[in-house]
Amino acid sequence: MNYSKESIALHLKSRGKIEIRSKVSLKTKNDLSLAYTPGVAAVCTEIGHDKTKSFTLTNRANQVAIVSDGTAILGLGNLGPEAAMPVMEGKSIIFKSFADIDAIPLCINSTDVDDIVKFCKLIEPSFGGINLEDISAPRCFEILERLENELSIPVFHDDQDGTAIVTLAAMINACRVTGRNLNELHVVINGAGAAGIAIARLLIYAEVKDVVLVDTQGAIYEGRPGMNPIKQAIARVSNRAKHKGDLQSTMTGADVFVGVSKGNIVTESMVKGMKSEPFIFAMANPTPEIMPDLAFRAGASIVGTGRSDFPNQVNNALVFPGLFKGLLKTGIKQVTPEIKMAVASSIAYSIKPTHDKLMPTAFNKKVVENIVAVISEISLNSVIAPAA
């Protein structure tokens, strides 16, 4: 199938992918009086006296805002907020189909950090959570950190931590299939944007042996000139050997390659230079850093990509529906490293993995159920204090 051509035809035919439907009947004058004036005035008064009742008397407790400025759309780059809408609508239907959450795309016409933070603060009364999406690095890190501190509802940047969680889940299952251990793995990550930095942070927290990030200037190491503060911070806790080479030299002897960069930049010889039977997670979209057949031919043991038309898709659609369902159910405000680890493990153990079926699909209902269960358990054990 020509997915590009067929997708355009689908969007033209349906004029996008989402709509709003009523949950109550509106067929009589009595229906209208209950749903709108005069009856709704009593509901407004209740919320006016106690704002927390907005979570029980409106749809707020099941409503998530998907906020994007369109600066980092898939692997396409900065195409603007209008071009981000098809992706955000796609996330909306994934939220609804897999977790029965109503998610509203809000693509905004500003790339200014203060503007985006202010926008999210202004819309907070309408939503139970905010999903940041396709906002470029390094601004996305500051935006997320500020919103986590300044809002009373959970905020999650899917490109950062959603990708990190699903990558860790894939690595857990790759170890299960091959009999290896996470703490023995030397990992190379190509791409030091939102996803790459977040993956590195979570893998370090998971205590892999070492993580080396590579950007367009080569390996990131402590003291390398010209790095932004985010890269300087990750350099202090990664690349213990302070390797200073390019991608090819950095991959030499590594156990795992994780690509969150651009297509066709990894060659067979680069894979052959890694340790025997490495894991390759080439997740650039729409074109992986190396095609699976080439990676296998070069000796890879496990190969995953971000594409749904190849085996072993590693995609954050496995994360955000269940994660937000769990957060909305429990009232937990912040997604801590402990929660990320638990969610990754719950995704991994939703199936018994094989080389060709490493990950559950987004259609596996156990995934959302398991994520909600593990977040609920964390909440009940009071490891995390619920939001006020």
DSSP labels, 235-265 = HTTS-TT-----HHHHHTT-SEEEE-S-TT-
| Residues β-bridged to residue 259 | 190, 282
| Tokens read off for 326 | 């769990």
- Extract the tokens encoding 1: 């199938």
Alpha helices for the chain (secondary structure H): 3-14, 29-35, 40-49, 54-57, 81-99, 113-123, 139-150, 163-178, 194-205, 229-235, 247-251, 268-272, 292-297, 320-330, 337-348, 365-380
Q: Beta-carbon neighbour count of residue 192 at 10 Å? A: 27
How far is residue 280 from each of residues 89, 173, 228, 288, measured CA to CA in Å?
30, 13, 28, 10
- Residue 133 marked as a ligand binder: yes
69 is in an annotated binding site: no
145 known member of a binding site: no
| Segment holding 189, helix H or strand E | strand 186-190
Residue 134 is labelled as binding a ligand = yes
Q: Which residue is catalytic, options 51, 53, 91, 231?
A: 91
What gap in Å lies between CA 211 and CA 73, rounded to an integer? 26
How is 161-188 classified by DSSP, letter by letter?
Answer: IIHHHHHHHHHHHHHHHHT--GGG-EEE
∠ CA 312-314-315, rounded to 5°: 135
Active-site residue, 329 included: no
Contacts (Cβ under 8 Å, ≥6 apart) of 147: 117, 120, 121, 130, 132, 155
51 is catalytic: no
| Residue 285 assigned ligand-binding role | yes
Catalytic residue among 3, 36, 118, 365: 36
CA 374 to CA 344: how far, in whole Å? 10
User: Which one-letter amino acid corresponds to residue 248?
Assistant: Q
Which residues sit in the known binding site for a divalent metal cation?
A: 133-134, 159
* Residues annotated as catalytic (active site), given as ranges: 36, 91
Which residues sit in the known binding site for (S)-malate?
A: 285, 315
